[in-house]
Amino acid sequence: MSTDNQGMTEFHWFMDILQTIDVGLVVLDRTYNIKLWNGFMENHSGIRPDQAKDQVLFDLFEEIDESWFKKKAEAVFLLNTRAFTISDQRPFLFKFKNNFPITGRADFMYQNATIIPLNNTSGETAHICLIIYDVTSAALNKKSLDSNKDC
């Protein structure tokens, strides 16, 4: 196999992984336009990647507190460092339905999120990546433990 074919094969694998990994991946530019929207995000939002691409995040998801999110994201852009939010601080970034609506004990998916800087070839942070983790089971277990402490 030639080096070019091997590179294309590995790129194809990489893209397949990004689309099927069990976390949400969203890439945003400096004006909060969506540049990447993976399968997790599609499955939980009902919005296809081609529908999300180049849309302003806040236009698609009004539940996101724009001023809060921009403060968090601007720190990532300016400082070139990661930022985090956990479900104890804010139960969700995207108000997705719980994965297990029949057996589940929550109306929505609890989420942790990591915002990471993505640098261009000049080393400037031109985009950010949101990684969305479904932590519903852990959050509900923690709530159950906390409520049992009061008994």
146 has pLDDT over 60? yes
The reported pTM is 0.85
**Distance, CA of 133 to CA of 113 (rounded, Å):** 6
Lowest mean pLDDT among 36-40, 53-57, 134-138: 134-138
For residue 101, the model assigns a pLDDT of 56
Residue 3 lies in a domain: no
- 121's enclosing H/E stretch is none
CATH number at residue 96: 3.30.450.20
Domain tally for the chain?
A: 1
Instruction: Note the pLDDT tens digit of each residue in 62-111.
Output: 999 999 999 999 999 999 999 999 999 999 999 998 876 555 678 899 99
**Is 131 within the bounds of a domain?**
yes
The residues, any chain, with a CB within 8 Å of residue 92's CB and separated by 6 or more, are 63, 108, 109, 110, 111
Instruction: Name the more confident of 104 and 14.
Output: 14
Residue 63 counted as domain residue? yes
Residue 88 inside a domain? The answer is yes
